[in-house]
Structure formats: C-alpha cells, structure tokens
C-alpha cells in the first residue's frame, strides 16, 4: 500500500515565484539595499468591471505558503543556475522573519483596501510577491463571484461542481473559496479531505447510458434501480438523459415517492422545474427535491428564484470567477525605512505608506464607508458611526499568530458582511463600489 | 537541509475527482455493470465564442495523472466515509488497465474532434472523468489563447509572466501551455524546473523604489547601477517607475549603449515604444531592445506590430485564456460493449461510437477538412488530398506507450499546425471554425 505525499504540507512554495524576484534579491544583496526595512502592500486598484464589492479569499492559504517558502536542495539547484554564490547562501538559511497584517479571510474589500501588509527586509518581502498574489488573486476572484451567487440563491442550497473546468489544483481552491462564500457543499473530494468541506454528488449520464436491455436499447429504469439499491432512496436521480417527463415517471416508479431528489441538467431549467414539480406532486412525491444544473451563473440563479428549485449545481461560472477569473490585486512597495514611496508613472499611481483600515457602520449595522489610513496617524473616527478595525496581525517575527480565523469563522464573516452592505450594493447590476473609501494620511 | 517533496511525482491524483464518480462506481459494482467494456471520449461541443481553432494542451500531464490515479491509505480513508466495503476493496488494488488514444499535444482541434478516447471497463474509465477534464480544459484554454498571441506577435519574442494572476499551481501549467504554443520563455521558476522551460525576468518597480538618496528622494540611477553591477550590462532595466524619458536617459548613462533592453510597463505602449526607440538610437544605443508589458492580449500585441517592440511580456490575458478561461471539453460515454450510446436530451446531443480522426490537406499543406469517423468503418479518403491521422495510441493495457511526443516536439507541432490553417482561419476576428469537420460512421 502506497502512502502518497500530500501536496499542501510536504512541498516547498519557494519556486512558485518569478525569476526576477531572485535576480532583484541578488542585486539588492550586492548593493547593500537588501536589509532596508520595507512594507509591501497587496491591494486592488479597482474591482472587476461593474462589481460592487470583493470578498477576500485565500488569506489562510497565503499564511501556509509563507511558512513553506523554504529553499531545499532541489530549489537551490534551480536557482544556482543563474544566481551568484552569496545569494544562494542567503537562500539556504532563509525563512521569513517579518510581520504580516491584513484583512481577515471573508472580509469584503474595495479599491485601495490594504488587504495584506507585509513588513520586513526588502529581501524577505520581495521574494513573496508572486506566491502571495497567485493565491489572493485566485481565491478572491472565486470567493467574490461565489458570494454573488449565494446572494442570488437567497437561501437555497448551492453545490460547487466545477472541478472539471479548472486546473486540477485550482479546483480544490475553488471549492474552498465557494464554501467560504456560502456554498453548501462541493463535488471535489480533495477539497473535502484537505479543507473539511462537505462533499456532495448526484449521478452522471454515463451511469444511465451504461444500462441497456439485452438487445441494446436504453434501460433507464435499470440504472435508477441500481443507484437506489446502492445509494438508498434519498439519492438524487438524474432524469434528463433521454426524456425528462419519462425520466421523472420512471424515477418515482423505481424509488417511490420518498425519493430524495431529481436533477435536471439541460433544457430550459425554469420551465422544466415547474413541470417536474407538478409531476412529482401529482405522483405523491411532494418531498422529492429538485436540483438544477447546467451553465448556471448568478444571473441564471436569480432568474430561477421564482421557480420550485431546491438546489443549484454550479460549475463553469464559479471556477472562472463568472467573467472575472482573477482579482487583479497587486503587491507594491509602499514604505522604505519609514518613508512612504510611490510609483509615479502614468495611470498606475499608488499611495505610499504602511496602512490600516477601519469600516464605519450605522447602528443598524449598515456600512457607510471604509477609511484607509496611514499607521503613522491616529485611528480615524466618524461622527455617530461605529468603527470596526479591518486589519489584524497574522504573522509576528515570522511566527503565525494564534487564533487566526478558521474557514468556518471566515464563512460566518462573509455571511455577516453581506447583510451589512447597503441594499443597492448587493444588486447584481453594474455599478460603483457599494461603499466609498476615504484615505487619511 | 530539507528535501521538499515534488508535487508532480509524489502525489496521488485519485481525490482530484468528483464524489459522484465514486458513488457511481459503487452502484455499478453492485448491479454488475461495472465490468462492461466502455469507451469514453473527451471532446469540445464548440469552440469559445468566435474562436477559429483550439490547441490541444495537457495531454502529457493527463497521461501522468492517470498513472498516479492510485488510492493509498489517505485516499481510502476519505472515500471509506461514504462507500461500501466492496468498493473500497476494489479501489485499494486499482490501477487503470485500459487503453487511451488521442490527439497529440499541440494538435489543433475543432468542435467534435475526438481529442481523447479512453477504453476499458466502466469502472476504471468513469473514475478518470474529472482529472482528465481538469487538465485538458485548463491547458487547452491557455494553449489556445497563447497560440493567437504567438500569431499576433509575428515572430517577436513573448515572455509569459502571468503567474501572479493565476492559482499558484495553475500558473505552472500556464507557463507550460504558453511555451507549448510558441512563447519564448516564462517568469515562473517551478515551470523551468518541472518542465525545462527557459526562465526569463527583467526588473521590478520595487527595486527602483527601494533606492533613495540619503534625504529620502528617489534615486533611479542607484537602482540601475545596482542592477547592472550584479546582472551585467545585458540586463533589462525598467524605465517607467518615475518618468520614462528620464528613465531611459538614466539607463543609458548608467549602463552605456550596450544595455540589453529597457522595459516599459505603463502608458500608451505604442507611443512610448516609438519615443524610446528614437531616444535610444539618438543615444547610440541602437542595439538596446525594447520590452513592453501591461495588460497585453492578442489584440494589443497585434496593434503594436508596426511599433519598434522586440519583446512582449504577457500576463493576465494569457493565464485567463484571454476571455475563454476554460476550453469547455466534456467526457462522455460513447460506446458500451461495442454498441454506440448517446444522450438524447435537448441541446446536448453527442455522437455515439468509438472514433478516430484524420485531417486532409492540399499538396501545399493547407488543411481542407477534418474527418471524424467511427473506428468500425474504413479509414475515410478524400479525392486529391493527403490525409494525416490525428489519433495515436497513448496507453495500452494501462502502460504508457514509448515515444509519446515531448514538450519540444509538441511545440514544433503547434508551429507547423498554425501555418497549415487557411489564411482566414488565422485572423483574430470572430468567425466559424477555420476548417469544417465531417462525420463518417
């Protein structure tokens, strides 16, 4: 019996980076600038086109990746091919020893929110750019799209089933980000194992097609009998392989009115949901639920809100960020030895200085504004409003803080955050960020 | 010194799948249908909106993933939670023992092309659905977008630098797919290590911002001196941190006219490329090249074709498939015990039967049509045209065939394929597939 390695605990993240991070390290070690105290900040200059808010995803994975950012023999062999000896020696003993502050996973973010603040020497901070951005950009894009779907589903169950449309490891992170945002379950087993997310599954057309009569004709009833015999009457039968109306009739004939659910994966889902609900009810299967799937995105989910749908299965649109597959965050040097620095070339202005953020809400809980401020100024206040600090310590002197939010806690945070947005900020239609951001510093 | 595990050789792919593959296996083992001889086929029903061709990417990774599709103790522990003992026992000894045929990595594909044909028992074939599709859909989406960029660049160098905009493992596969399609190099070091792809890098704004005078003012010259001292005069200096014209002047002042290249990452790249070329030439730096980057996609690359650009750095658009982040391939049961099967519900008709494909070209090499045929009929011919078989054996009785194409061979194949398309099929504008596909069987 083989014991396979688990990728997320046994592997280094040190090469999940760009070559230029290392050549810059090399130049900085040579010219004496490598040890200057720096702050790098991860933030989004803007939200994807028309989006009203973003959801921070991936923070916990970032912290893990920083801990595994270590150069073993295999990693050193690669970088030795283009680096000088001093740099290779430096990398051999390297581990991040600085500080990280940032938004909790599950916080909402807006343009300019200082989502992650990384402080330490230039050398140790610059190396982390690519892997930090890879994780934040991916997971936040998926969490942000997923949150819109969760809102659109308005309390109905959502199953993430997009693994087959995403890179095989991205799929695991997509399942995690969807769950973070409020999805009920995932089809992905590695996500269940690695992150403890509930796994769910229905049935496949292949299983129905597999069942034929002795003379080669389709035998949907045999497939349903096989599935119910093994998985029980509470299973979900896929009724659209041949003819949906016949499929539903056969399903109830085989499983009886106690059948858990039927799934419809094609056709006009709204029309079919109504038809099938009527048919199920007329057959006495009033408790049999309806699962719909097939190219659903937040708009299609919302459009089905008046229909008798119990569960949505969402695939492609979820794992591709529903039109915004990356969050577009950047990681910029904002402070050197206590002095703010900023790039000044056209269209890419960033605000220098180490920053924190606080969000102000009315007594009703509705957010009014986000204030981003330099840590060098007093914490801002806002008349008559309650402020909630958004920035928390995550790593101190290279050591992970205890009591960082768990995935479950972050999931609860998303749910609380979504109800704190002004009503119009939750609309699916295009518009400005749901709340304004004010900069103080 | 730690020796970190390498993810691609040490890890099982068995949980990179959907729960329902395993519950279907369980039902099939129970009702006796698990051992029926099946063919599953991976194909795309359509190309992404407006695309004229697709490029098959990921085939070599699929073959690897099938070999590592094994259940060790950790994997069995997960599936034991919801599977019966017989199924768990079956999985413990399981390894794929069937056959795989398919398109070489680097082949073009069109709607209905039988890209991968997997034959064996239902049990062993159904389990592979998700991981096969994850890899093919991701890598083909990236390779297809990359090929359009390569065509648009018309012989100029392309560096893939999108890692920070993609999931950290997806980034490695993106680098590979871009190289497959004809990109020159990647910024991603793990892609260099794992796949032997040339790594490249320039410099970062952070390194320039790091350098300040004693009284805190920007010191671009100090940054350039530091970089040239360590990386040599053939390095690429990033000239747009503050003012591009001043940056170029400083760069040549520091490095001399032998400087390798300057990089412009912001502003109107066409205008700046011309300005900077003139400035470099007037400074005697006629051999100093110009690298441009910043939200480039195939259209922006094409729009710069008349400008004095030597190298394009491409990030976000590459790793997001330039509007088509997944290839949308499906994996369908097409034959059971020698009899074709097909799903008949609305809008999702697929053609049953095990298939191969052949592509016909004129004597000039220009492709005229692709013919997809059931393996039960004779290989089709086409009057006066030369046929090239597209389907090759990849796995026989569970064992990988020797002499499968290497990444370099597949890269050459893409290059040959692109010049074999009819001229109008290579246009970036929207249109039908570049060549028609005929079905015989």
Cα distance from N-terminal residue to C-terminal residue, chain B: 60
Measured CA to CA in angstroms, residue A87 lies from A27, A115, A124 at distances of 9, 30, 12
Q: What are the backbone dihedrals phi and psi of residue B314, each rounded to the nearest 5 degrees, phi first?
A: -120, 130
Q: What are the backbone dihedrals phi and psi of residue A321, each rounded to the nearest 5 degrees, phi first?
A: 65, 20
Residue of B nearest to A264 (CA): B345
Pairwise CA distance, residues A32 & A43, whole Å: 28
**A4 confidence band (pLDDT: 50, 70, 90):** low
Are B248 and B288 contacting, i.e. CB atoms less than 8 angstroms apart? Answer: no
For position A162, what pLDDT does the model report? Answer: 98
* A320 interaction partners in chain B (CB closer than 8 Å): 325-326
Are B277 and B123 contacting, i.e. CB atoms less than 8 angstroms apart? Answer: no
Q: What is the pLDDT of residues A306-362, one digit of tens each?
A: 999 999 999 999 999 999 999 999 999 999 999 999 876 545 556 899 999 999 999
The helix (H) or strand (E) run that includes residue A29 is: helix A19-31
Residue of A nearest to B5 (CA): A11
| Encoded tokens for B268 | 């109107």
Inter-chain residue contact B336 with A209, CB threshold 8 Å: yes
Distance from CA of B228 to the nearest CA of A (A): 8
For position A405, what pLDDT does the model report? Answer: 97
For position B151, what pLDDT does the model report? Answer: 96
ipTM comes to 0.96
Residue B166 CB-density burial (10 A; 0-12 exposed, 13-18 middle, 19+ buried): buried
Q: What is the pLDDT of residues B305-334, one digit of tens each?
A: 999 999 999 999 999 999 999 999 999 999
Query: Domains of chain A: which residue ranges?
Result: 11-142+326-440, 153-323
Pairwise CA distance, residues A163 & A173, whole Å: 10
pLDDT for A64 beyond 60: yes
For position A305, what pLDDT does the model report? Answer: 94
pLDDT for A263 beyond 50: yes
Q: Which residue of B3, B24, B194, B342 to mutate against A (max A Cβ within 10 Å)?
A: B24
pLDDT for B2 beyond 60: no
Angle at the Cα of A368 (from A365 to A373), degrees rounded to 5? Answer: 115
The superfamily in CATH containing domain A153-323 is Aldolase class I (3.20.20.70)
Q: Are strands A329-336 and B329-336 parallel, antiparallel or unpaired?
A: unpaired
pLDDT for A283 beyond 60: yes
Pick from B21, B24, B192: CB nearest A78: B192
Beta strands (DSSP E) in B133-246 are: 157-160, 185-186, 236-238
Mean pLDDT of chain B: 94
Mean pLDDT calculated for residue range B26-30: 97
**B420 confidence band (pLDDT: 50, 70, 90):** very high
Q: Which CATH number fits domain A11-142+326-440: 3.40.50.1820, 3.20.140.10, 3.30.310.50, 3.90.1300.10?
A: 3.20.140.10
Q: What is the pLDDT of residues B218-249, one digit of tens each?
A: 999 999 999 999 999 999 999 999 999 999 99
* B272 interaction partners in chain A (CB closer than 8 Å): none
Mean pLDDT calculated for residue range B336-357: 80
For position B214, what pLDDT does the model report? Answer: 87
**CATH code for the part of the protein at B154-322:** 3.20.20.70
Helix (H, G, I), strand (E, B) or coil at A120: strand
Pairwise CA distance, residues B338 & A223, whole Å: 19
Are B122 and B29 contacting, i.e. CB atoms less than 8 angstroms apart? Answer: no
Pairwise CA distance, residues A140 & A347, whole Å: 24
Pairwise CA distance, residues A328 & A330, whole Å: 7
* B1 interaction partners in chain A (CB closer than 8 Å): 72-73, 92
* A166 interaction partners in chain B (CB closer than 8 Å): 134, 137-138, 170, 326
Report CA torsion sign: A317, A323, A327, A330: positive
Q: What is the pLDDT of residues A343-357, one digit of tens each?
A: 765 455 568 999 999
Inter-chain residue contact B203 with A266, CB threshold 8 Å: no
Pick from B164, B200, B209: CB nearest A336: B209
pLDDT for B24 beyond 60: yes
**A5 confidence band (pLDDT: 50, 70, 90):** low
Pairwise CA distance, residues B286 & B385, whole Å: 49
Across A131-140, B336-345, B403-412, least confident range: B336-345
Are A394 and A152 contacting, i.e. CB atoms less than 8 angstroms apart? Answer: no
**B102 confidence band (pLDDT: 50, 70, 90):** very high
Are A116 and A128 contacting, i.e. CB atoms less than 8 angstroms apart? Answer: no
Pairwise CA distance, residues B316 & B294, whole Å: 9
Q: What is the pLDDT of residues B112-135, one digit of tens each?
A: 999 999 999 999 999 999 999 999
* A328 interaction partners in chain B (CB closer than 8 Å): 165, 316
Q: Is the pTM of this model over 0.90?
A: yes
For position A1, what pLDDT does the model report? Answer: 43
Inter-chain residue contact B16 with A188, CB threshold 8 Å: yes
Q: What is the pLDDT of residues B164-193, one digit of tens each?
A: 999 999 999 999 999 999 999 999 999 999
Inter-chain residue contact B20 with A187, CB threshold 8 Å: yes
Helices A168-181 and A407-420, interaxial angle, to 10°? 50
pLDDT for B346 beyond 60: no
The fold adopted by the segment(s) B10-142+324-440 is: nicotinate phosphoribosyltransferase (3.20.140)
pLDDT for A69 beyond 60: yes
Distance from CA of A221 to the nearest CA of B (A): 13
Residue of B nearest to A225 (CA): B31
Closest CA to B177 of B232, B129, B135, B114: B135
Region class of B264: left (phi > 0), else alpha (psi between -120 and 50), else beta: beta
For position B5, what pLDDT does the model report? Answer: 54
Mean pLDDT calculated for residue range A49-63: 97
Mean pLDDT calculated for residue range B267-271: 95
Residue B318: Cβ within 10 Å count: 30
Inter-chain residue contact A345 with B231, CB threshold 8 Å: no
């Amino acid at each position: 019996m083989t014991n396979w390695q688990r990728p997320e605990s046994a592997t280094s993240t040190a090469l999940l980076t760009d070559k230029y991070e290392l050549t810059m390290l090399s130049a900085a070690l040579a010219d004496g600038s490598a040890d200057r105290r720096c702050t790098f900040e991860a933030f989004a200059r803007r939200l994807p086109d028309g989006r009203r808010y973003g959801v921070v995803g991936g923070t916990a994975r970032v912290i893990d990746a920083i801990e595994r950012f270590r150069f073993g023999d295999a990693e050193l062999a690669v970088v030795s091919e283009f680096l000088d000896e001093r740099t290779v020696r430096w990398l051999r003993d390297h581990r991040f020893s600085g500080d990280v502050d940032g938004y909790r996973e599950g916080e909402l973010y807006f343009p300019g929110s200082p989502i992650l603040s990384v402080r330490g020497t230039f050398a140790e901070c610059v190396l982390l750019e690519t892997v930090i951005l890879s994780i934040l950009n991916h997971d936040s894009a998926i969490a942000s799209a997923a949150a819109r779907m969760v809102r659109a589903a308005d309390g109905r169950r959502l199953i993430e089933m997009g693994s087959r449309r995403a890179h095989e490891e991205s799929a695991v992170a997509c399942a995690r980000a969807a769950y973070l945002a409020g999805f009920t379950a995932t089809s992905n087993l590695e996500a269940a194992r690695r992150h403890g997310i509930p796994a769910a599954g229905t049935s496949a057309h292949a299983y129905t097609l597999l069942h034929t009569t002795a003379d080669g004709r389709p035998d949907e009833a045999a497939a349903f009998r096989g599935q119910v015999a093994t998985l029980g009457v509470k299973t979900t039968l896929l009724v659209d392989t041949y003819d949906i109306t016949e499929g539903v009739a056969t399903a109830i004939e085989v499983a009886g009115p106690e059948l858990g659910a039927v799934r419809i994966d094609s056709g006009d889902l709204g029309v079919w949901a109504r038809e099938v609900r009527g048919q199920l009810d007329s057959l006495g299967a009033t408790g049999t639920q309806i699962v719909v799937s097939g190219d659903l995105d937040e708009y299609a989910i919302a459009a089905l809100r008046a229909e008798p749908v119990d569960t949505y299965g969402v695939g492609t649109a979820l794992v591709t960020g529903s039109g915004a597959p990356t969050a577009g965050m950047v990681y910029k040097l904002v402070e050197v030895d206590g002095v703010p620095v900023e790039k000044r070339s056209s269209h890419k202005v960033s605000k220098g200085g180490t920053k924190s953020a606080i969000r102000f809400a009315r007594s009703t809980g509705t957010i009014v504004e986000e204030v981003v401020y330099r840590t060098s100024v007093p914490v801002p206040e806002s008349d008559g409003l309650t402020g909630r600090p958004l920035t928390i310590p995550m790593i101190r002197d290279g050591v992970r803080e205890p009591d960082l939010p768990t995935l479950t806690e972050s999931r609860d945070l998303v749910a609380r955050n979504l109800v704190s947005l002004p009503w119009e900020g939750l609309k699916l239609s295009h518009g400005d960020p749901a709340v304004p951001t004010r900069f103080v510093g």
